[in-house]
Amino acid sequence: MRIVLGVTGGIAAYKAALLLRLMTEDGHEVHVVPTNSALNFVGKATWEALSGQPVYNDTFEAVEEVNHVLQGRQADLVIIAPATANSLAKAATGLADDLIGNILLTATVPVVMAPAMHTEMWENAATKANVATLRGRGVHVIEPAVGRLTGVDTGKGRFPEPDDIWSQTKALLTETPSQGKLEGKRVVISAGGTREALDPVRYLGNRSSGKQGVALALAAARAGADVTLIAGAMDIAPPQHQNIAVVSIESTRDLLDAVLHHAEGKDGLIMAAAVADFRPAAATDEKIKKQDDNSAPTIVLEQTEDVLRTTVEQRDAGQPLPPVIVGFAAETGDAETTPLEYGRSKLQRKGCEILVVNEVGIGKVFGQDDNDATIIFADGSDDVPVQGSKDLVAEEIINQLAGALA
């Protein structure tokens, strides 16, 4: 495999040399592209000695080969490690004022970025927005580690250990469905949470971030499918991909209408959106005001539409809806029943072909970058447990969808 290793100007650049060694020891051809700032920490001679390849860091080097385009075209994988706050910002905006920027614009292969910076920089709103943008485009941004930073301070922002970066990258590449596995297929995916209005200001909703749904849309597009993403309330930007069309919705009723309309005639449907199970029985057109006597209004709730079950029923009644429908079950257990047992019961009630069962709770699944799920099947096939980043979980779900469609 031909790998481009972009090294940007952080003190963690010295650890990138260890990452380089891991990749070459696995037999890969690695071309290191350091920024000028990175060369203040580790020089060209080190990168050339460890990689066995010439090192270019300027757009105007090897001009006769059109090197600034050739590097991206020939790469099978691009890794930016360390990725500074500045490099994340430049990548998010498509800035190409150096060789790494040009490579990122020309590469059509998986891109992995391993951030390293001080905690304040990682937690800054601008950095969060840039990371969300990159992930929305399919870039795999690894979470930084927590630990000792450059100075005496500690916190989140530490460069992940090279072993961790390389193991995550290899897992990502291993789990990726083969090119064309969903070629010619049309898939609808729902993502995010639904919101049920109480008044013009307030709503009843849930903690869904939309990360898993976006990861699914990107995985399906990489596998060759034409994707319609029905997006509710999300913490991240919708993906920007030529094979993904985005439809925005707000309420559960909106979601049901969109699914029945856009899924008609399609091959597969993945219901990853977290539906609000209840809504206020009566919403008001005026904001509910606080009262001087400190009293609070009594809010009566009613159940929302069962989008998954209704879709299956409509299909069974003859509407041309997808032959393979994948549902999601966000469950908590209790003294008598495990989340997986609740999931099996839900699979029977809903009537879909595949169900992805997540155990949820504070700090679990919703809003996180990792997921721990079990994929179960109506036909009695063996359960498929999958754990790791939401990108990896998405790849496995898409793999199971492709297998069912085949």
Torsion of CA 208, 209, 215, 217, to 10 degrees: 70
- The CB density around residue 255, as the number of other CB atoms within 10 Å, is 26
Spatial neighbors of 337 by CB under 8 A, at least 6 apart, are: none
Query: Is 206 a catalytic site residue?
Result: yes
The span from the CA of 116 to the CA of 85, in Å, is 8
The span from the CA of 233 to the CA of 149, in Å, is 35
Q: Amino acid letter at 208?
A: S
Whether the Cβ atoms of residue 231 and residue 247 lie closer than 8 Å to each other: yes
The residue among 96, 165, 85 whose CA lies nearest residue 128 is: 85
Angle at CA of residue 129, ends 209 and 327, nearest 5°: 20
Residue 97: DSSP 8-state:
S
Q: Which of 67, 102, 130, 206 is catalytic?
A: 206
Burial of 129 (0-12, 13-18, 19+ CB in 10 A): middle
The span from the CA of 87 to the CA of 151, in Å, is 21
Sheet containing strand 140-141, edge to edge, reads 29-34, 2-7, 77-83, 111-115, 140-141
Phi and psi angles of residue 302, each rounded to the nearest 5 degrees, phi first: -135, 160
Angle at CA of residue 4, ends 217 and 222, nearest 5°: 15
Enumerate the active-site residues: 206
